[in-house]
């Protein structure tokens, strides 16, 4: 069972639908017991960093997420869900993130010919043998929607990057924590393969 955390931040049903297509059982929930008893956990998200953190705290899901990570449950953050795993974001100054991973969430800089937000398909440069990308070729295109991007503190946790006027750390992995800035559930067959690889994480 995969728990999809519901904290009023949207995009839940598309993730649920993608998992169902893959034959994976899932539940959309904010119930502490359901989340902690699940085999794996997904934190999706679209919207603003500060508002999302407010919602996580309102439902005390920040504590549940910390506990789940401490228990080494395979955990996947998607889009805003990736950003929330870090210390904070330039989008919402002074708002503390979950502090699970180290790095900065920065605004994509203005550049000639580059529209912000970054919306659409972009290719990935794969590195450091990420488990989410097993069976996925270098240069695979995936779907992005974001105005802020991750610059991880340690390059070793970065498993995929993309270029959009700046190098975007598009996916990270540390222990049982995984995250993608792009939307695997909207990234066609290769995105579904990313979700399938996560669903198999931790299995022998």
Q: For the chain, give the mean pLDDT.
A: 95
Question: Is the pLDDT assigned to residue 28 strictly greater than 70?
Answer: yes
Tens of pLDDT along 1-15?
A: 999 999 988 779 999
- Report pLDDT for 186: 96
Q: Which residue out of 55, 79, 169, 173 is catalytically annotated?
A: 79
User: Domains in the chain, start-ordered, CATH in brackets?
Assistant: 2-199 (3.40.50.880)
Q: What is the pLDDT of residue 203?
A: 65
How many other C-beta atoms are found inside a 10 Å radius of the C-beta of residue 45? 25
Pairing verdict, β 158-163 and 103-107? unpaired
Q: pLDDT for 46-64, tens place per residue?
A: 889 999 999 999 999 999 9
* pLDDT tens digits, one per residue of 86-145: 999 999 989 999 999 999 999 999 888 889 999 999 999 999 999 999 999 999 999 999
Please report, rounded to a whole number, the percentage of residues in the chain having pLDDT higher than 70: 99
Query: What pLDDT, on the 0 to 100 scale, is given for residue 9?
Result: 80
Question: Is 183 a known active-site residue?
Answer: yes
pLDDT at 78 over 90: yes
How is residue 120 written in tokens? 């659409």
Residue 204 has pLDDT above 60, yes or no: no
Distance (Å) of CA 108 to CA 80, 90, 147, 171, 190: 14, 10, 6, 16, 25
173 carries an active-site annotation: no
**Which of the 8 DSSP states describes residue 71?**
T
Task: Report strand pairing: 75-78 vs 177-180.
Answer: parallel
What pLDDT, on the 0 to 100 scale, is given for residue 111? 81
User: For 156-191, what is each residue's pLDDT tens digit?
Assistant: 999 999 999 999 999 999 999 999 999 999 999 999
Residue 114 has a pLDDT of: 86
| pTM recorded for the entire structure | 0.96
Asked whether the beta carbons of 160 and 57 are under 8 A apart, the reply is no
Q: Is 79 a catalytic residue?
A: yes
Cβ neighbour number for residue 63 with a 10 Å cutoff = 12
Asked if the model's pLDDT at residue 26 lies above 60, the reply is yes
Q: Which of 55, 146, 169, 183 is catalytic?
A: 183
């Amino acid at each position: 069972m995969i728990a999809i955390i519901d904290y009023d931040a949207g995009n839940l049903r598309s993730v649920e639908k993608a998992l169902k297509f893959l034959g994976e059982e899932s539940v959309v929930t904010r119930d502490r017991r359901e989340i902690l008893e699940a085999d794996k956990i997904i934190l999706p998200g679209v919207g603003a960093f500060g508002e999302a953190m407010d919602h996580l705290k309102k439902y005390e899901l920040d504590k549940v997420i910390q506990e789940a990570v401490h228990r080494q449950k395979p955990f996947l953050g998607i889009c805003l869900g990736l950003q929330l795993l870090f210390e904070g974001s330039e989008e919402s100054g002074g708002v503390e993130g979950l502090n699970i991973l180290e790095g900065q969430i920065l605004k994509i800089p203005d550049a000639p010919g580059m529209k912000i937000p970054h919306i659409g398909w972009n290719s990935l440069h794969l590195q450091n043998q990420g488990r989410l990308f097993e069976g996925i070729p270098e240069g695979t295109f995936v779907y992005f929607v974001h105005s802020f991007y991750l610059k991880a503190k340690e390059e070793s946790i970065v498993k995929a990057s993309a270029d959009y006027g700046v190098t975007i750390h598009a996916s990270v992995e540390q222990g049982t924590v995984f995250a993608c800035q792009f939307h695997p559930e909207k990234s066609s067959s290769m995105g579904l393969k990313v979700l399938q690889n996560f669903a198999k994480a931790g299995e022998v």
